[in-house]
Chain A
Amino acid sequence: MAAQFFVDWSFLRIKWFTNDSSSGSVTVSGLQVLGIPIESPVQKYLFCLTVVAVFALMAKNLVRGAIGREWMAMRDMDVAAAVIGIRPVYAKLTAFAVSSFIVGVAGGLWGFVHLGSWEPAAFSIDRSFQLLFMVIIGGLGSIMGSFFGAAFIVILPIFLNQLPAWLNIPMSTATASHLESMIFGALIVFFLIVEPHGLARLWSIAKEKLRLWPFPH
């Protein structure tokens, strides 16, 4: 939270952070990776998909490995973890470092690949809250959950916003957008009540049920 305000403050005042841009918005033109331009939406999508796939695999394997088990032990009960020989400072610091690195890469992709140009307002406190909600709604402590959470927070509002047009319901832009926030808010409350462990838990329950279906024990 403090970082949120501090970073905002410093980007306003330290000129070289924004490359001396007069409007405070940072732009990079002619993005390319290994000589392949990243310009059209398809190119951007494929580039982001590659990065996401690499990071998801990395995260999944980190969590399966020794260090991931240390993090889980630390999360479940730090005193017990310390007793069995896990260094609390090391486990917590690595957890912060790895997650900050992943979020940092995500921020870079968001700012330069998706938006194309960003100003501190693109990383406002609302964005931080959205990230937090993605984690909570998706399901704490699961890799799959972060995908569900992100889809819920990012794609669902856009879907809700487009729905009236697809169904050919004449509706003013303002009404559609108010309805979008209302339904979205209601869905957040609904999912948190029905499944406090997040969408990832719903997903694993569904998988279990389908495996046994149609002959449950």
Chain B
Amino acid sequence: MKLKSLIKGAALAALSLSSLLTAPAALAQAKEQFFPLLVYRTGPYAPNGVPWANGKQDYIKMINARDGGINGVKITYEECETGYATDRGVECYERLKGKGASMIDPQATGITCALTEKAPVDKIPLVTLGYGLSASQDGGVFKWNFPLMGSYWTAADILIQHIGKKEGGLDKLKGKKIALVYHDSPFGKEPMPLLEERSKTHGFELLKIPVTAPGVEQKSAWLQVRQQRPDYVLLWGWGVMNSTALKEAQATGYPRDKMYGVWWAGAEPDVKDVGEGAKGYNALALNTSGQSPKVIQDTSSMCMTRGRARARRMRSARCSTPAA
């Protein structure tokens, strides 16, 4: 399952990257490609949304400054605030697609669901980086969806395999209890089909504990955790939900080293405010963390010289303890 989905993901990533890279070459006379940036700098998801939006913008600026764009084609962009709300996201999409959008990256699974129907009509590639519809890995059905860097099914699978390894083999998971504490939205529900299949195969019990969005109130969820005492908790949170969950885990006395977050639950804003209470918590990471990759060095050095230190913040915001 994992290998297959990874291969599919890699193939799609390559496909969409090549389409992104070759399309501008073909349209070289245009000399400009417009990237609409759907962001959320306000609302309960802003702690993660702001660094993400800044980093994306800095990366585009760096590509324009260092390489003069992609094959000489400059990237232009315009931001549109969605506040992580699906209706505003759809409005932003309709507003910006008319400006000749080369692709759309909605930065939210809920908006992705809504745009999945619209993108094929408008023929705009819907690129989802580590989020979106897991089922869209099947490019035969979702022709205009391009999930990059793995989906939530990949994430759930890696986490279960990692836990299995820790227990000394996937067969040791039999009789164990694994709780999925999830953001009650399409994002949080995405990993369920995979986890259900895995629980049938390996014989562990899967507890599904929803947290109402945005997740500032989680007392009842953690009461369930305290009563059921799961062996592991998978945290499918985003924004304020993550730091609240860690604080609640601390208050409940649930060991943080038994908690595993998806990549959206492993950013610096999630753990910084919790401080000591977050020690031992694990999360997946999509990206290489640290200073070493050239692209990060270039982005931060170019942004720094211009007085924009956002890229550094962006990078540290997405860094986390790699679990697998």
Contact = CB atoms under 8 A, between A and B. Distances in A.
Nearest to B186: A23
A121 B185 contact: yes
26 contacts: A12-B184, A12-B210, A22-B190, A23-B109, A23-B113, A23-B189, A25-B113, A27-B113, A110-B87, A114-B90, A115-B86, A116-B116, A117-B117, A118-B86, A119-B186, A121-B213, A122-B110, A158-B91, A161-B81, A173-B81, A174-B41, A174-B46, A176-B81, A177-B81, A177-B83, A178-B42
Most buried by A among B50, B95, B114, B184: B114
A110 to B, nearest CB: 8
Interface of B: 39, 41-42, 46, 50, 53, 79-81, 83, 86-87, 90-91, 94-95, 109-110, 113-118, 121, 133-135, 184-187, 189-190, 192-193, 210, 213
Given A23-B190, A116-B115, A174-B41, 11 more contacts: A12-B184, A23-B187, A25-B186, A27-B113, A29-B117, A41-B94, A110-B87, A119-B113, A124-B213, A158-B91, A172-B41
Contacts of A32: none
> Which DSSP category, helix, strand, loop or mixed, fits chain B's interface?
helix
Nearest to B87: A115
A115 B41 contact: no
Interface residues of A, number: 31
A119 B187 CA distance: 11
Contacts of A122: 86-87, 110
A98 B190 CA distance: 37
B118 A116 contact: yes
Contact of B121 (A39, A118, A162, A172): A39
B13 to A, nearest CB: 21
Interface of A: 12, 22-25, 27, 29, 39-41, 110, 114-122, 124, 158, 161-162, 172-174, 176-178, 181
